[in-house]
Chains A and B, each alone.
Chain A
Amino acid sequence: MGCMTTSTAVLHRLRAELGSRLSTDPAELQGARADRSGYTAPGMPLAIVRAESIADVQAVMRIATEWRVPVVPQGAATGLAGGGAGSDGAIVLSTASMNRILEVALADELAEVEPGVINQALSDAVAQYGLVFSPDPASKAISTIGGNIATNAGGLLCAKYGVTREAVLGLTVVLPDGRMLETGHRSIKGVTGYDLTALFTGSEGTLGVIVGATVRLRPIAAGTVVTIGAFFDTIVAAAAASAAVTAARLRPAVMELIDHEALKAIDAFNGTTLSASGGAYLLVQTDGGASVDEADRILAIVTGAGGTAELTIDPEVGERLLAVRRSVHPSLAARGEVLIEDVCVPRSQLAAMFGEIERIGAKWGLSIPTVAHAGDGNLHPNFVITPELALASGEVPDVVWQAAGELFRAALDLGGTLTGEHGIGVLKKRWLRDEVGTDSFDLQRQIKAVFDPLGIMNPGTMF
């Protein structure tokens, strides 16, 4: 078989150039087939390379180009869309070991990092200077900055402080043919030519491999952090309260919604009784010089909208309230495989989208616990594949796809998008064209071809 000889030759070359950074250990290859989306790629990757330098990445790409072998870039594989899952016959190119912080420039409030630096590790390193790396996906303790950039990750704070794109000034990228490219600059502004930095941000490893980044840091907000937790009878009432907060032109740092199904899951996991206190929970945090004043106004709005609220300036209590939000995912994961969806709608449609989720859950007989970044209209409806639902094949049951499809269509009909922060990956590509339209879809494919004429960069992801 021709491909056998090809793979043998490719492995030979990879081993010659990368030595111990190459692995073909079956258990490791097996592990590289999945990310945290619940998706496992069919077949088996050819090899894993754990790059330690830009030269390693270039070597892999040159070999891949020469032999037309697909390459799947991978960070920490915490992705929720299947984009980093090693596909059949591909070289999985991990940048996780390229994890040095190369420079912190205080006066310029920026850092130069390698792609494998863990998000939280950068914030930890600059905390002593009163700075923080703003993008804060809930996975910040485990995901890499390269992966955050490749997915344009969001987080709890992004309604106020922006998503990853806003924090990236420049990138170093290895193109599919092994050539190196620098985009952007160290200045905050710059409009020379097209914005390739923005194009690579969110490109999910389909245009090139990110091997370095210049990222912005921001001062840790001064002042007291004030936290408000409020119970509501229904999720629709809680969503309306959050909309009232933004309509009052207030911009809390955090504003999270948790629905009743999710509260029940947390109770089951933690032994708490939150779900008895109300049908939905709203969590708000303000920061900065005027945080107390802002929190007072928010409290008035929240109680006026029917919420039973508590307010605290005690950082420990605040942290405990936030921990409730963070425990949603582990609570659900304890029940079965979790498919985390990621629709985003205009803020005014948040309550309507919650209504749609309830309708779709009832129609398909599924429980869809949902949390939302209310400040930016981003909802995470979760499908939990409990043992009763699970298929022997390990694949996602059809009923879940049917319900998810309806969910996406509902989000689009409300003027929204099917993914607010996790990306298209493998799992959502069947809906990409529906959202962007055929002309835009074709343009995007052609843009990919400009960067990757041979189609070896993460094929199967996004398109």
Chain B
Amino acid sequence: MSGAAAPAGIVSGVTPTEPAAWLAELTAGVATWSTTDEHTAAAGADRSGTRQAGLPSVVVYAHTVADVVHTLTVAHRHRVPVVTRGAGSGLAGGATAGSTAIVLDLASMNRIVEISPVDGLARVEPGVITADLDRAAAGHGLFYAPDPGSVAISTIGGNIATNAGGLRGAKYGVTRDAVLALDVVLADGTVVHTGRDTVKGVTGYDLTALFVGSEGTLGVVVGATVRLLPRPKGQATAAAYFSSVDAAARASVLLATLGVRPAVVELVDGRTLAAIDDLRGTDHATRGAAFLLVQTDGFGAIAEIEVVAESLRQSALSVEVSADAALALALAAARRDALPAIEARGRVLIEDIAVPRSRLAEAFEAVTEISERTGIEIYQFAHAGDGNLHPIIVIPPGFAATEIPAHVQAAADEIFALALRLGGTLTAEHGIGRLKAAWVEREVGPEAHRLMRGIRALFDPRGILNPGTSV
């Protein structure tokens, strides 16, 4: 039996040789699916650089809510694990799938159903690419605020499942703040609607917030009503170099006391600047040992950037300001190129701690100390406006692609412990996934962990949704 209406490039699977009763039942009810190694291998990987043992049994390419309902109904009846997947751009292993799992790929459910300019909202299917929604909103003078670095590839469903942050988070909040209502298919195939189309509402518990960030463990998001905001008029940029990360971090903290609300405050460390120079032939590292990018937007963008620049000049080696879009893009290059430049050095493990803003300088320093002491290469950049630091560990060559070497994990563990010690969290926006699951209890405590597990068992009594991920 083969599926029909496969998306371009997808060849549907053939009936597998192993006599799995559920597989026949599953594939009989969905149009597009595959069991070929090529497809299941691709569907079982994300961007975390890790894999699970074995290949998933089948990948279902859902096109409709009915496909999702059918998949979960069959999986529930036969107790087969289901790994929901958006674009697989996740960095925590949440969308990785191993043997026997069903991968439920939602990328084809990618219609923007409605944009309502007056109500400032959009109704979307989960597979819509984040940047596509923002582009569509722009047509109405609006924007979709959450902008993870992966906007061009990640899906809204994945953003919701991970409560993704982004560059503009300091001013406009994270994905949770943008989600008004959800349609969710529960583990047994029941469809529930949470939230409402109104900006406010307090009827009952906030199930919408509960699903946001639940990493596919409580249900599958098949529809979302998200908030769109007026697209800010005007934008201004300041780019500054500092003699040390410490000075840059302190300058970024001072910005919070100026009565202005920058949309973007990004910090890049000296080691990363050197990597960018290597990759692009630029001269960032000669201009300073740390880089700070600040953007303001809205009617007061220019007035605000003046205030920002004035403050930065107190401690920076140099400050450049521009309200010109093309120039701003050039100034922002050092931030944009950071990850590609580090990735050019080897396989990376992207960490994602957050600390209270005031502890940012301390966090940078402590991570540097860990790097120096262990000899492990660690680069750092941060969404400084919200205290979110990304230490990027380059895994030395010579290890299998599925493996995180013990000494690298030990350094990562030290970074997590540091985040907790400074009153922060081990993951600000990427999620627990599989990679950090062992750490949840240490952060939230046994009481909260027990409650979270209780909630999970309530939504998914048979434990079929993303087992091993999150709480």
CB distance from B162 to the nearest CB of A (A): 7
Q: Do B356 and A105 have beta carbons less than 8 Å apart?
A: yes
The number of chain A residues with a CB under 8 A from chain B is 91
Q: Do B428 and A419 have beta carbons less than 8 Å apart?
A: no
Q: Do B196 and A415 have beta carbons less than 8 Å apart?
A: yes
Complex Cα spacing A198 to B175, Å = 14
CB distance from A12 to the nearest CB of B (A): 29
A346 in complex: contacting residue of B116, B387, B428, CB < 8 Å: B116
Q: Is A243 an interface residue (CB 8 A)?
A: yes
Q: For A183, what are the chain B residues with a Cβ–Cβ distance below 8 Å?
A: 444, 448
Interchain Cβ contacts under 8 Å between A and B, 11 examples:
A182-B444, A183-B444, A187-B424, A194-B210, A203-B205, A249-B142, A251-B230, A346-B198, A435-B196, A447-B455, A462-B204
Residues of A321-374 whose CB lies within 8 A of B: 344-348, 373
Q: Is A393 an interface residue (CB 8 A)?
A: no
| Residue ID in chain B nearest A130 by CB atoms | B259
Q: Is A265 an interface residue (CB 8 A)?
A: no
Q: Do B445 and A181 have beta carbons less than 8 Å apart?
A: yes
Complex Cα spacing A127 to B454, Å = 42
Complex Cα spacing A376 to B173, Å = 18
Q: For B125, what are the chain A residues with a Cβ–Cβ distance below 8 Å?
A: none
Q: Do A415 and B197 have beta carbons less than 8 Å apart?
A: yes
A290 in complex: contacting residue of B206, B261, B298, B428, CB < 8 Å: B298
| Residue ID in chain A nearest B458 by CB atoms | A446
Q: For A162, what are the chain B residues with a Cβ–Cβ distance below 8 Å?
A: 173, 177
Q: For A346, what are the chain B residues with a Cβ–Cβ distance below 8 Å?
A: 116, 118-119, 121, 197-198
Q: For A444, what are the chain B residues with a Cβ–Cβ distance below 8 Å?
A: 204-205, 207
Q: Do B202 and A421 have beta carbons less than 8 Å apart?
A: yes
Q: Do A348 and B118 have beta carbons less than 8 Å apart?
A: yes
Known: A246-B118, A247-B117, A443-B192. A189 touches B425 (CB 8 A): yes
Which of B49-57, B299-307, B327-335, B406-414 lies at the interface with chain A?
B299-307
Q: Is A387 an interface residue (CB 8 A)?
A: no
Beyond A189-B165, A219-B258, 11 extra complex contacts between A and B, CB < 8 Å: A190-B428, A192-B427, A195-B209, A198-B210, A288-B299, A344-B196, A344-B201, A417-B196, A419-B202, A424-B203, A440-B192
Q: Do A377 and B198 have beta carbons less than 8 Å apart?
A: yes
Q: For A276, what are the chain B residues with a Cβ–Cβ distance below 8 Å?
A: none
Q: Do A185 and B209 have beta carbons less than 8 Å apart?
A: no
Instruction: Indicate with 1 or 0, residue by residue over B43-80, a CB within 8 angstroms of chain A CB atoms.
Output: 00000000000000000000000000000000000000
Complex Cα spacing A422 to B201, Å = 9
CB distance from B97 to the nearest CB of A (A): 21
Pairs A-B, 4 closest by C-beta atoms = A289-B300, A290-B299, A249-B230, A198-B209
B199 in complex: contacting residue of A189, A344, A443, CB < 8 Å: A344
Q: Is B260 an interface residue (CB 8 A)?
A: yes
Q: Is A159 an interface residue (CB 8 A)?
A: yes
Complex Cα spacing A231 to B116, Å = 28
Complex Cα spacing A421 to B427, Å = 31
A191 in complex: contacting residue of B116, B432, B439, CB < 8 Å: B432
Q: Is B257 an interface residue (CB 8 A)?
A: yes
Q: Do A436 and B203 have beta carbons less than 8 Å apart?
A: yes
**Chain B positions near chain A (C-beta within 8 angstroms):** 116-121, 141-142, 162-163, 165, 169-170, 173-174, 176-177, 186, 190-194, 196-207, 209-210, 212-214, 218, 229-231, 253, 256-261, 298-300, 303-304, 354-358, 383, 386-388, 423-432, 436, 439-440, 443-445, 447-449, 451-452, 454-456, 458-459, 470-471
CB distance from A415 to the nearest CB of B (A): 5
| Residue ID in chain A nearest B218 by CB atoms | A194
Which of A44-52, A53-61, A65-73, A106-114 lies at the interface with chain B?
A106-114
CB distance from A425 to the nearest CB of B (A): 10
Complex Cα spacing A437 to B387, Å = 39
Q: Do A293 and B199 have beta carbons less than 8 Å apart?
A: no
Q: Do A417 and B198 have beta carbons less than 8 Å apart?
A: yes
Q: For B194, what are the chain A residues with a Cβ–Cβ distance below 8 Å?
A: 436, 440
Q: Is A220 an interface residue (CB 8 A)?
A: yes
B304 in complex: contacting residue of A193, A289, A419, CB < 8 Å: A289
Which of A13-21, A150-158, A396-404 lies at the interface with chain B?
A150-158
Q: Is A143 an interface residue (CB 8 A)?
A: no
Known: A107-B253, A189-B429, A191-B213. A432 touches B447 (CB 8 A): no
Residue of A190, A377, A437 with highest tally of chain B CB at under 10 A? A190
CB distance from A188 to the nearest CB of B (A): 4
| Residue ID in chain B nearest A247 by CB atoms | B118
Q: For A421, what are the chain B residues with a Cβ–Cβ distance below 8 Å?
A: 200, 202
CB distance from B389 to the nearest CB of A (A): 10
Residues of A226-278 whose CB lies within 8 A of B: 243, 246-247, 249-251
Q: For B209, what are the chain A residues with a Cβ–Cβ distance below 8 Å?
A: 165, 195, 198-199
Q: For B298, what are the chain A residues with a Cβ–Cβ distance below 8 Å?
A: 288-290
Q: Do B207 and A443 have beta carbons less than 8 Å apart?
A: yes
Complex Cα spacing A444 to B210, Å = 11
| Residue ID in chain A nearest B214 by CB atoms | A194
Q: Do B203 and A419 have beta carbons less than 8 Å apart?
A: yes
CB distance from A238 to the nearest CB of B (A): 16
Q: For B304, what are the chain A residues with a Cβ–Cβ distance below 8 Å?
A: 289
Residue of B118, B383, B443, B449 with highest tally of chain A CB at under 10 A? B118
CB distance from B106 to the nearest CB of A (A): 20
Known: A106-B257, A187-B356, A348-B119. A192 touches B173 (CB 8 A): no
Q: Is A222 an interface residue (CB 8 A)?
A: yes
Q: Do B356 and A443 have beta carbons less than 8 Å apart?
A: no
Complex Cα spacing A247 to B428, Å = 33
Residue of A186, A193, A223, A444 with highest tally of chain B CB at under 10 A? A193
Q: For A202, what are the chain B residues with a Cβ–Cβ distance below 8 Å?
A: 202, 205-206
Q: Do B356 and A439 have beta carbons less than 8 Å apart?
A: no
Complex Cα spacing A435 to B388, Å = 38
Q: Do B387 and A201 have beta carbons less than 8 Å apart?
A: no
Q: Do A182 and B445 have beta carbons less than 8 Å apart?
A: yes
Complex Cα spacing A45 to B209, Å = 34
Q: Do A439 and B214 have beta carbons less than 8 Å apart?
A: no
Q: Is A196 an interface residue (CB 8 A)?
A: yes
Q: Do B253 and A175 have beta carbons less than 8 Å apart?
A: no
Q: Do A194 and B471 have beta carbons less than 8 Å apart?
A: yes
CB distance from B388 to the nearest CB of A (A): 5
Q: Do A222 and B260 have beta carbons less than 8 Å apart?
A: yes
Q: For A251, what are the chain B residues with a Cβ–Cβ distance below 8 Å?
A: 229-230
| Residue ID in chain A nearest B387 by CB atoms | A187
Complex Cα spacing A250 to B117, Å = 12
Q: Is A450 an interface residue (CB 8 A)?
A: yes
A344 in complex: contacting residue of B198, B355, B383, B436, CB < 8 Å: B198
CB distance from A395 to the nearest CB of B (A): 24
Q: Is A418 an interface residue (CB 8 A)?
A: yes
| Residue ID in chain A nearest B389 by CB atoms | A187
Q: Do A288 and B300 have beta carbons less than 8 Å apart?
A: yes
Q: Do B203 and A450 have beta carbons less than 8 Å apart?
A: no
Known: A247-B117, A290-B300. A166 touches B177 (CB 8 A): yes
Q: Do A187 and B303 have beta carbons less than 8 Å apart?
A: no
Q: For A247, what are the chain B residues with a Cβ–Cβ distance below 8 Å?
A: 117-118
